[in-house]
Amino acid sequence: MMFEDEAALIAHGQAFVATTLPKARWTHEGHFAAALYLIARCPDIVPERDMPDMIRRYNIATGGENTDSAGYHETITQASLIRSRRLLATRPVNEPLHLTLGALMQSSLGNKDWLLAHWSRPTLFSVAARRHWVAPDLAAL
């Protein structure tokens, strides 16, 4: 687990927002940490609306790009936010976020291929799914 305490997760989220997070920390777990931070600790941010541009800016700031085959992916981002909110709703209200993230990583969401239980590979990795929300074609979220 990357996050030993609440402060580490908050620092990660703040660095993501500031586009100063080292690219090596933008892992599967790091994506969910940023999502949980934005949802739970940033009341002025609406992650479903704001995170897409935040990720695009972050990608550019770390030398990446946002194309039809790399960088930002709308369907993955929105699905991850849906599932992050759903998990948060089941956890104790004052639970430290690093413990919430630990529970998330112990669930099926901890497997980076979790989306393939809901979308076929061709659908999920299509240009359409990268650019816009595409509903699951295998199983509902």
In a domain, 126, yes or no: no
In a domain, 106, yes or no: yes
In a domain, 139, yes or no: no
In a domain, 73, yes or no: yes
Report residue 117 as tokens: 């239980």
Report the Cα–Cα distance between both ends of the chain, in Å, rounded. 25
pLDDT digits (tens, 9 = 90+) for 95-108: 999 999 999 999 99
pLDDT digits (tens, 9 = 90+) for 38-62: 999 999 999 999 999 999 999 999 9
In a domain, 44, yes or no: yes
In a domain, 66, yes or no: yes
In a domain, 119, yes or no: no
pLDDT-flagged residues of the chain (< 50) = none
In a domain, 124, yes or no: no
Range of the domain at 41: 6-111
C-alpha 93, offset from chain centre: 20
Q: What domain count does the chain have?
A: 1
117 contacts 140 by C-beta, under 8 angstroms: no
| Distance of alpha carbon 48 from alpha carbon 78, whole angstroms | 6
